[in-house]
Amino acid sequence: MNYEYFIAKRLIGSKAYKSSVSAPIIKIGIAAIAIGIVVMMIAIATGIGLQQKIRDKVVAFNGHATITNYDSNNSQESVFPISINQEFYPDFKSVDGVSHVQGVAAKFGVIRTETDFEGVVYKGVGQDYDWQYFKEFLIDGQLPSLEKKWSEEVLISQYLANRLGFKVGDEFQMVFAKNDPEKLPNYLKCKVTGIYNSGFQDLDKQYLIGNLRHIQRLNQWESDQIGNFEVFIDDFSQIQEKGIEIHQNTPSTFNTITVTDKYASIFEWFTIFIKNINGIIGIMILVAGINMITALLVLILERTQMIGILKALGSNNWSIRKLFIYNASYLILLGLFWGNLIGLALLFAQKYLKLFPLDPSVYYVTEAPVYISFGYILALNVGTLVLCLIMLLVPSYIITKISPVKAIRFT
């Protein structure tokens, strides 16, 4: 029989234990564990959630990698066409993990109304375009139908719709300049079929999405010519490796740039953000551990006479240390229980009720996103328990210094 566990269980269940001098300190220790878990869960859930949400928004507009011509054009506009007749299109079979390839083109233009005008990028897409991301962003209307050859339907952002006073069903005119400034500009009639809001204002204010054939006509391209390819992969964690593979498996006249390189400042911000989360986790575990050390020391001092009696009866130092570590483990588990209960309640409330909004101009999202996974929650709990117990091994060493004779006389 594990008598250390038996004694620890009896001590925890006794009324004297709950009303002892150490009771307030024990409650503080439990509260420290609970608060620490809540803070760490929120930090991880919002950190990963924010990272994934912003990443998905950037990928929605660019794909995981972009294949373009080698040229000096650093703008969003497609200048030199690419033939769509490539070995890697429509299925990139030479690189494992590529889920989809689509051909697109972009052109700068100006939306003109009776009272306003706004410069935007008209992104032309074809039948191969994957709308999965914009289905999530859609807030009004429907996605453009590209079945008609010269479909005028476009998807416009809520940001642009609010600035120009557009709603679903409205029609407007876009103006596109020609390369020869002496020639009259081109005009394109558009009809708003849907309004989206990605929450990424820097991109929302730039793009509207319409028919690729209009870009081909305006640029005097052939029907099999596009501006660039957008490539999507299955596993974002392998984006650098896949970017290199994609580049190696495309013609030498093509350049491949990953979304992490294109928006390097955003993804560098992610790295700093993750470092801050790791710092928060370290501080919370340290604070919780120090509180538990204090609680354990008080328990030991309060039970000095009992320690002396157990030593007199033949118990060794490690056996008595185990008794108090069992006691402290119960307190840690109790703190973990309440911390998980409160933390998960807050995370699910934010996930479904959107309680805490964010400024999209700063955080690129409209509310604090949360990522809830059993994996990181389990790792957080096990890690906290193990690290706190390791920290408690040092103060429990004081038991070895207690003399049975002096302890039994101690009152």
Tell whether 65 is covered by a domain: no
The domain containing residue 111 runs over which residues?
71-252
Based on the domain organization, do 243 and 168 belong to the same domain? yes
Sign of the dihedral through C-alpha 402, 406, 408, 411: negative
DSSP secondary structure string, 185-229?
A: PEEEEEEEEEEE--S-HHHHTTEEEEEHHHHHHHTT--TTEESEE
- Token pair in block for residue 359: 């400024």
Q: Do residues 284 and 292 lie in contact, with contact meaning Cβ atoms separated by under 8 Å?
A: no
* Per-residue pLDDT, 387: 87
Tell whether 63 is covered by a domain: no
Choose one of 185, 219, 252: the last residue of a domain: 252
Ordered per-residue pLDDT tens for the chain, 411 residues? 576 667 767 666 665 555 566 677 778 888 888 998 998 898 888 888 888 888 888 888 889 999 988 875 666 777 788 899 988 888 888 889 899 999 999 999 999 888 888 889 999 998 889 898 888 889 998 999 888 888 889 999 999 999 888 999 899 889 888 776 667 788 889 999 999 988 888 888 889 999 999 999 988 888 888 989 999 999 888 899 999 999 999 888 888 899 988 888 888 877 787 888 888 888 888 888 888 888 777 777 777 777 777 777 777 777 777 777 888 888 888 889 999 999 999 999 988 888 888 777 677 777 788 888 888 899 989 988 888 888 888 777 776 767 666 666 655
Tell whether 317 is covered by a domain: yes
Rounded to two decimals, the pTM is 0.75
Based on the domain organization, do 88 and 207 belong to the same domain? yes
Choose one of 203, 229, 252: the last residue of a domain: 252
* Per-residue pLDDT, 276: 83
Based on the domain organization, do 309 and 400 belong to the same domain? yes
Alpha-carbon distance of 127 to 278, in angstroms, equals: 44
- Token pair in block for residue 189: 């009639």
Alpha-carbon distance of 48 to 58, in angstroms, equals: 15
Tell whether 83 is covered by a domain: yes
* Per-residue pLDDT, 69: 85
* Per-residue pLDDT, 237: 85
Based on the domain organization, do 243 and 135 belong to the same domain? yes
Based on the domain organization, do 49 and 161 belong to the same domain? no
DSSP secondary structure string, 396-411?
A: GGGGGG--HHHHHH--
Based on the domain organization, do 226 and 338 belong to the same domain? no
Residue 44 makes CB contacts below 8 A (sequence gap 6+) with 277, 281, 371, 376, 380
Based on the domain organization, do 154 and 53 belong to the same domain? no
Tell whether 307 is covered by a domain: yes
Tell whether 89 is covered by a domain: yes
Based on the domain organization, do 180 and 217 belong to the same domain? yes
Based on the domain organization, do 114 and 30 belong to the same domain? no
The number of distinct structural domains making up the chain is 2
Tell whether 349 is covered by a domain: yes
Tell whether 234 is covered by a domain: yes
Is the previous residue joined to 360 through a cis bond, with omega within 30 degrees of 0?
no
* Per-residue pLDDT, 409: 64
Instruction: Provide the 8-state DSSP code for 144.
Output: P
Based on the domain organization, do 89 and 225 belong to the same domain? yes
Choose one of 204, 226, 252: the last residue of a domain: 252
Residue 97 three-state SS: coil
Sign of the dihedral through C-alpha 319, 326, 18, 297: positive
Based on the domain organization, do 52 and 100 belong to the same domain? no
Based on the domain organization, do 202 and 98 belong to the same domain? yes
Alpha-carbon distance of 170 to 331, in angstroms, equals: 64
* Per-residue pLDDT, 196: 92
